[in-house]
Amino acid sequence: MDDIAWLGTSEGRQALAEADGLPDTEAPGTVTRMRDRYGERAAAVLTQVALRRAARVKFGAQADRWFYTRSGLEQATRPAVAAHRAATYAAAGAARVLDLGCGIGTDAWAFLDAGLDVVAVEIDPFTASVAAANLAPAVASGRARVVQGDATLLLDELWLPGVSVFADPARRTGAGRTWNPSDFTPPWDWALGLLDRAVGAGVSGVSNSDRVCRTG
């Protein structure tokens, strides 16, 4: 069982609660205590507690329901923005959406909350496992599916008639944040190309400087 799946078990939840009761996740005493109790899992526990604390700024009280990666948290859409976008899709008649580069699943969660079903694609294996954990109830009920892989290669297989698409490319390189669209992943030109593909009838599209949305 990987660390994220383990953190969702009763023992993992107990470890998270225990670590959250400690003031400093990096203090030597905290690390030693958690290692004594949870062995190799301690690092994952302390990392998630530190990220949850940081996430409370962005997500408020619901932060503690989620799992994170550092870059996933930094890149996650703010809940109010995600909810507004999801409501726009729902109002346009979308019922299913393909989230291409889902990160930790913030937008996917908002789409589900708005009543849409979601197929969420993420290239990074660990981030994909975090998204799967965050979307677990919807995965269990069949409303969501998380696919680990390259969205540019999976698009034709996954983009079925009547399915809307959403892409929120990563705007960072190994050197940090980038404002150069040619550095975005999945590629910005590819994301813009989604807008040109004719799918079904009736199109409601929204595009701004760093996100592409289309229903059809």
Ligand X SMILES: C[S@@+](CC[C@H](N)C(=O)[O-])C[C@H]1O[C@@H](n2cnc3c(N)ncnc32)[C@H](O)[C@@H]1O
Cα 129 from Cα 197, distance rounded (Å): 30
Name which of residues 27 to 56 contact ligand X (CB under 6 A): none
CB of 152 to ligand X, least distance (A): 5
Size of the site for ligand X (CB under 6 A): 24
- Count helices and strands (H / E) in the chain: 11, 8
Shortest distance, position 28 Cβ to ligand X, whole Å: 32
Member of 12, 79, 186, 216 binding ligand X (CB under 6 A):
186
Token output for 154: 């999976």
In this complex, which beta carbon is closest to ligand X, that of residue 7 or of residue 123?
A: 123
Convert 170-184 to b/e letters by CB count within 10 Å (16 or more is b). bbeeeeeeeeeeebb
Q: Which stretch binds ligand X (CB under 6 A): 17-25, 41-49, 72-80, 191-199?
A: 72-80
Q: How far is the CB of 195 from ligand X (least distance, A)?
A: 17
Per CB under 6 A, contacts with ligand X among 82-101 are: 101
79 part of the interface to ligand X, by CB under 6 A:
no
Q: How far is the CB of 108 from ligand X (least distance, A)?
A: 7
Q: Is 104 in the site for ligand X (CB under 6 A)?
A: yes
Q: Which sign, positive or negative, has the C-alpha torsion 182, 185, 187, 188?
A: negative
- Contact region with ligand X (CB under 6 A), list: 47-55, 105-113, 156-164, 173-181: 105-113
* Closer by beta carbon to ligand X, 3 or else 107: 107
Return phi, psi of residue 128, to 5°. -65, -35
Among 34, 46, 63, 123, binds ligand X (CB under 6 A): 123
Residue 195 in tokens: 């807008």
Judged by beta carbon, residue 34 or residue 186, the one nearer ligand X is 186
Q: Which long-range contacts (CB under 8 A, 24 or more apart) does 181-187 make?
A: 184/210, 185/101, 185/123, 186/100, 186/101, 186/123, 186/150, 186/151, 186/152, 187/152
H or E segment and range at residue 118: strand 117-122
Which of 72, 67, 59 lies closest to 6 in space, CA to CA?
A: 67
134 binds ligand X (CB under 6 A): no
Q: Which amino acid is at 6?
A: W
Main-chain dihedrals φ then ψ at residue 119, nearest 5 degrees: -110, 115
Give yes or no for residue 147 binding ligand X (CB under 6 A). Answer: no
Residue from 25, 47, 164, 185 touching ligand X (CB under 6 A): that is: 185
Residues in touch with ligand X (CB under 6 A): 72, 75-77, 101-107, 121-124, 127, 150-152, 168-170, 185-186
